[in-house]
Structure 1
């Protein structure tokens, strides 16, 4: 299964391992980062409809149809951290073995260059293996730290010299994507499902609605909302930024006027789920200081952890906090989903309580 995942991801970018290694070249760090990212998710949830290269069979596998159909309504799910770590180590071992095997058939100079490349690249690759406790959830996905959140917002700013995109429209749109994800905690599918008519023109509010099989959505895999319909209030400044994007940027793209979706590509077509993943992959590659685990879903974890911190500052009871969170995230009243998204906050509170207990011990200072 791991090798199948490896080869499918390589096929997406037309990489043939044997050909590459016979040329005396190893995989690049960005290519390995893509493998590391894919290793976080369930294979059945990943889309491989474009994996076949030119000239491959035109026969459509029924499993692909099922995968596309399910992807339209189910967001990509993460595997356990232990599974992710195991996949990365297995991939590294296989790539090391195959490059060494192929390298032994090459001239001495090429063999040496391939060995040096592979050693450096695999060291960077293995650095992404998460630490896994035998018992618990250490290493499970968390939100961004305050420092990483500030670094992300600084990099994504349209006027930042470190912003990885060149075109003004793309810079502003991607900045708005990150801001809306951090501000609302919505999923990428919910963001891409937003239509301009979902925005309140009088108040700083937007509606997140379920639209299964929407006739006005031309995307083959339609992003969708998994949770309940809900209304989300924004700060006026953020709402002004949304309308500024619509009136000053989006409106200038004639093809975009045919589509109701808020977030579009620079050719006017509604943006795809894969494009959101690409945006965060480009951010990670362009800005090594950002976490290698940075994805759109980490924004959701970040929102939930900030929500817990604010609830604590306001002195909300657990019951009130839970009800408020469930309403904001579109969860059922009795949902326990918050536990998945508040690990960093819960861990910090646990440490604080544990230290308080230790204060009761009579241990003299040396």
Structure 2
């Protein structure tokens, strides 16, 4: 029932310490008790990980509510879910959310593509099934221990949970995640030309210079969206020293009041940038960013001035708050919709893949065996990460296709040469 109205939803609360914690709320706004204890052990997880797990837990409770399943009553009898119920839950976990529906509708409007089945991809589906199995196991074992079940029922619950894991996780192998599209060289030129301030193809009526610097930073560095949004003014190296950006881990950062705080996903590090990007960032900070405060003062927006002065994040919205993740997505969605040469699913991750493609092509001969180590440092991956080969896969595939085409051309040339020799 992909169109069913959910009974439960997720609310991320923020403590005074800056820590975020997920609550599963019913329609009456009252939080469920069990998920609070479940997430207590996960409080150190990143915001997006907690949010993703909480949404799965909400979907599990929606399913139990919809089917009238009393999990406590089931466990008392040594049961958990029936086979058909587990299969139905597996299908339910594949349903896409309203935001994904909107993104797909926009893509279809641009590409005239055939509407896709309203389910998530194999990779996301696999994540959801594992998280659902983990929560049901934790919850069932907690109920089992609270009830003090005898040995026979305890063993029955253990057996039922093993069957549930097999149905939800083991038998449902994850499909290979398709490679997200990177930009070709021609598309990169189109993008850089379109985002120039005052360019006739620039689709932004305001904040043109901010968006130009933001996209230039994504294109040149290949950093993650959260890493760019987490940059503060002091993270840009001062003038007169080698231009760099410092990526700092700031867990539970009180000054980051965004609904989805920008967090460093992996390794803190310092990445070199070109003098051009450094100059653009410095000019934006010293000129355009400062003008936001003056504009808010002229408008008499005291709350906006307070918001602006409460943080030091480089990229700022028009009302003084740090630029949000959804604001960045809107910028990329606008480019994807308005610039015909760009892919409809244009995203910051597409520029991360573009960076890796360019790095692979330009560094193979110059860096030799150091290529992987340097890529791991710049991308923030741990030593020996498989991500390096994964991101280079698109270049490898293209080079393999070029080799095959060259082999075919050589074969045809030799065939023609042989025919000519036979004629003479």
Same fold (TM over 0.5): yes
Q: Give the structure 1 partner of residue 333 of structure 2.
A: 281
* Structure with more relative contact order (C-alpha pairs < 8 Å, separation 6 or more): 1
Corresponding residue of 2:255 = 216
Instruction: Give the one of 333, 350, 353 matched to 1:298.
Output: 350
1:166-210 residue CA offsets vs partner (Å, 9 max, x unmatched): 12xx11111111100111110000011111111111321110111
Instruction: Work out the CA distance in 2 between the residues paired with 1:308 and 1:75.
Output: 34
SS at match of 1:271: coil
Matches within 5 A, 1:28-43: none
Listed as ranges, the gaps of 5+ residues in structure 1 are: 9-48, 78-85, 89-119
Where structure 2 has 5 or more consecutive residues not aligned to the other structure, the ranges are: 7-22, 53-93, 97-107, 123-174, 294-304, 420-424
Equivalence for 2:73:
none
Shift of residue 361, structure 1, vs aligned partner: 5.3
The residue number in structure 2 matching 1:268 is 320
**Contact persistence 1:73–1:225 (CA under 8 A):** no
CA distance, structure 2, for counterparts of residue 57 and residue 162 of structure 1? 48
Pairing partner for 1:146 from 155, 178, 185: 185
TM-score under structure 1 normalisation? 0.64
Q: How many residues end up aligned between the 2 structures?
A: 278
* Residues 281 and 225 of structure 1, relative CA distance in 2, 3 Å threshold: same
Mapped to 2, the partners of 1:128 and 1:235 lie a distance apart of 41
Shift of 1:323: 0.8
Give CA-to-partner distance per residue, 1:116-161, whole Å, 9 cap, x none.
xxxx9698242889xx9xxx97962131111111111111111112
Partner of 2:208: 171
1:336 counterpart residue number: 386
Do 1:176 and 1:242's aligned partners in 2 also have CA atoms closer than 8 Å?
Answer: yes
* Structure 1 residue matching 2:378: 3-state secondary structure: helix
- Please, which of 191, 195, 209 is the counterpart of residue 232 of structure 2? 195
TM-aligned CA deviation for residue 61 of structure 1: 6.9
How far apart, in 2, do the equivalents of 1:166 and 1:201 lie? 31
Corresponding residue to 2:47 among 44, 65, 72: 72
Paired position in structure 1 for 2:362 = 310
User: Tell me, what secondary structure is at the counterpart of 1:215?
Assistant: coil
Q: Which residue number in structure 2 is paired with residue 327 of structure 1? A: 377
RMSD: 4.0
Could you tell me which residue of structure 2 aligns to residue 38 of structure 1? Answer: none
Partners of 1:206 and 1:233 within 8 A in 2: yes
Q: Alpha carbons of 1:139 and 1:257: their partners in 2 closer, same or farther (altered >3 Å)?
A: same
Residue aligning to 1:364: 415
CA distance in 2, matches of 1:316, 1:73: 35
Normalised by the length of structure 2, the TM-score is 0.56
Is contact 2:247-2:264 (8 Å) kept?
yes
Task: State how far apart, in whole Å, the 2-side matches of 1:221 and 1:69 are.
Answer: 15
Q: How far 1:58 moved relative to its partner?
A: 4.1
| Distance across 1 between alignment mates of 2:220 and 2:51 | 21
List 4+ stretches of structure 1 deviating above 6 A. 61-71
C-alpha contact 1:158 1:172 (8 A) present in aligned 2: yes
Q: Quote how far apart the aligned CAs of 1:2 are.
A: 5.2
- Taking the aligned partners of 2:354 and 2:111, their CA distance within structure 1 comes to 29
